[in-house]
Structure 1
Amino acid sequence: MTVKAPSTPHPVRRRNQHNGKATGGAHRTSKDSLRPWEMTCLVHGFPSKIAALQFEWAWQNAHTTRHVTAEARITQARSNIRVSPKTGRVKKKPVRPRMGLSERLGNLHLLLHSSSFERWPLRVTFYALDVHRTWDRWTRQHVVDSLRPGIEVKLDPSATEKARPEEAANSETALSGISALDVGYGGLKLQLEKSKRIFDEAEWLQCDCCHQVVPAAGDLTLVCSTEGCDAVFHLDCLSTAFLEAEGNEDAMVPTSGACPSCGIELQWAELAKELSLRLRGETEIKALYKKRRAKKGEVSAGDSVSDDDDIGSDLDVVDIGDEDIWHELPATSEVEAVATRGNPTPVVKKRRKKTGNKAVPPVAVSNFEPAEPTEPERIIEESDWEGAEMIT
């Protein structure tokens, strides 16, 4: 069994790329002997794509990452030593150790315990029953401290459900597993509408923490996500209230806290995500209210990818798992590559000119002739030195 740990903002599309149903994907996964690929474990909830790439590199290089102490490492770094027969120089090349499923899951557990990632709003979902059992077995044997309460680890129902005749009949329309994931902002649609209503209807609003006026446009203002509670807060006011209630002096960003108005537990990541979408997500908001349509040539509902999924830069073109130097990104992203395919180079036609009885070689005639830059004519102005007399 081959195990791989890539990162992607769209799991369904990534799986289709690995299995040859969509263009793109890593070179190593293109081997027919390794297909089909199955997504068995998903770590999600990262605050940004850059954060996901950082976690991916640390997971793939747990033997060298600084996020895991040397004493706690499951796999140790090793290197190949080569001696030049001519000069006798010794060269050491670091080699990534081979890791099986147990080592991968063990390294995942170590990273979720590390101080760098333990306060991130991460969730772990398993889509294969045997992989989830391996996780439980490794946890019972090696782990003493449990994960932070905010980090949810669960087994997806699709991993335990048995195929029934009625389910098979509805398999083309029913979504389950990774196909049921919301890779957009559909879960924030109601909260976004609520915030817009609050700021549009009220002439002025005050923070429920400091009771001072908040910006009318909602800049740096958080809105309680509880239904029926219209409390608004300054960003720094609610952050301070959550951190004081938590009692963690070393923390800079809260994870959760009770709303000062209604008392319901709120997740800081969800509040911040709605604020970011409201202030800077104009394109994403348009896509949120755009009617979704399926692309041509879809195999099933589980493999469908709508037009809205192509919005924004897609970093899953970069397969960090196949490179030792993870930070060398390509010059173009996947979106740019699609744009290039949509605008092909001009068609060049060839024709033969005749002059008398002599034939002229074929001339390339293009329907797209860019204007060649021309240099401006140099003008030498008259100088007073032209009328000067030579002194002998």
Structure 2
Amino acid sequence: MGPLGGAVRPGRFFGVYLLYCLNPRHRGRVYVGFTVNPARRVQQHNGGRKKGGAWRTSGRGPWEMVLLVHGFPSAVAALRFEWAWQHPGASRRLAHVGRRVRGEAAFAFHLRVLAAMLRAPPWARLPLTLRWLCPDFCRDLCPPPPPHMPLAFGPLPASRARKDDGEPATDRGSQDQCTLCALALQDEEGPLRCPHPGCVLRAHVICLAEEFLQAEPGQLVPLEGQCPRCKNSLLWGDLLSLCQMGSKEDNDDSDFEEGHWTDLLEM
């Protein structure tokens, strides 16, 4: 089980997005949602409820997906983030965030809430990426995201097959074993690999997390660590992102609609 609930499956994509309404009659409205497939999800919102869109966005389009937060370790972690972003006044972790003030645009308010969330536990230690999908909407967050959370711009890169860069032939016999515990690696576990050329590290997520957390006892999610094989510094978020991009598994799950899991996910 992951530290925030739910099985950690680094080969899957879980994201929370911000929509902006371009309809002149409703311009400025925003919507926060969860998705496993951003491109499909925005099409559903613009297609209305009959196409799988949410009732709050139906008939008010077109909508633009302008911002995406991704890198969550599980669907439950992403859904909790979504719920708190939608209901900051009801989340005990965001009690320090003031309400939307008079004259404050909904878009600006949601960015203010997001900035506070990325600096608050438990989200502050997650390997998240903040991706601006539309450059015209890009704004600096105040306070900025933690240093281990990178900013990205443009659409998500297409999935690409994993490749072994300069991997010595003598080490290929151990590809099916975890470098750290020597136990078998299962395909569905999404073994982590060191991205540095020539390094043959392949490890279970849990094994490498425990290795990194030796320097931070008491924490549940690592931020960075040293590769046990090549000794290069690695960011935990980068390792999970590489694993996600290398996965050949299709994300064909249906998205969760708003209001689902409210009682379960309340923080």
Judge same fold: TM > 0.5, yes or no: yes
Matches within 5 A, 1:129-278: 129-133=135-139, 136=140, 139=142, 143=143, 146-154=144-152, 156=153, 177-178=154-155, 180-182=156-158, 186-187=159-160, 189-190=162-163, 201-202=173-174, 207=179, 214-215=182-183, 217-218=184-185, 223-232=193-202, 238-245=208-215, 248-269=216-237, 271=239
Contact 2:128-2:237 at 8 Å conserved across structures:
no
Provide closer, same or farther for how the CA distance between residues 262 and 326 of structure 1 changes in structure 2, counting only shifts above 3 A.
same
Aligned residue for 1:101, secondary structure, equals helix
* Aligned: 1:23 with 2:23: no
Unaligned runs of 5+ in 2: 1-27
Higher relative contact order (CA 8 A, sep 6+): 2
How many pairs does the alignment contain? 230
**TM-score scaled by length of structure 2:** 0.69
Q: Look up the equivalent residue of 1:319 and give its one-letter code.
A: E
Structure number with bigger Rg: 1
113, 138, 142: which one pairs with 2:119?
113
Match of 1:57 in 2: 83
Q: Against the structure 1 CA distance between its residues 198 and 276, is the aligned structure 2 distance closer, same or farther, given a 3 Å change threshold?
A: farther
Counterpart of 2:129 in structure 1 is 123
- 2:30 maps to what in 1? 3
Deviation at 1:43, TM superposition (A): 0.8
Q: Unaligned regions of 5+ residues in structure 1, if any?
A: 77-97, 157-176, 279-283, 288-307, 330-392
CA contact (8 A) 1:188 1:274 kept: no
CA offset at residue 75 of structure 1?
Answer: 1.4
The alignment-based identity, stated in percent, is 32
For residues 2 and 198 of structure 1, the distance between their equivalents in structure 2, rounded to whole angstroms, comes to 58
C-alpha contact 1:214 1:234 (8 A) present in aligned 2: no
Q: Alignment partner for residue 73 of structure 1, among 97, 112, 118?
A: 97
Question: 1:61-95: per-residue Cα shift (whole Å, max 9, x none)?
Answer: 11111221x2x22218xxxxxxxxxxxxxxxxxxx
Q: Does the 8 Å contact 1:198/1:230 carry over to 2? A: no
For 2:225, give the aligned amino acid: G
Letter in 2 for 1:10: N
> SS of the residue aligned with 2:51?
coil
Displacement after TM superposition at 1:2 (Å): 0.8
Write the letter of the residue equivalent to 2:229: S
Q: CA deviation at 1:54?
A: 0.8
Is the partner of 2:163 in helix, strand or coil? helix
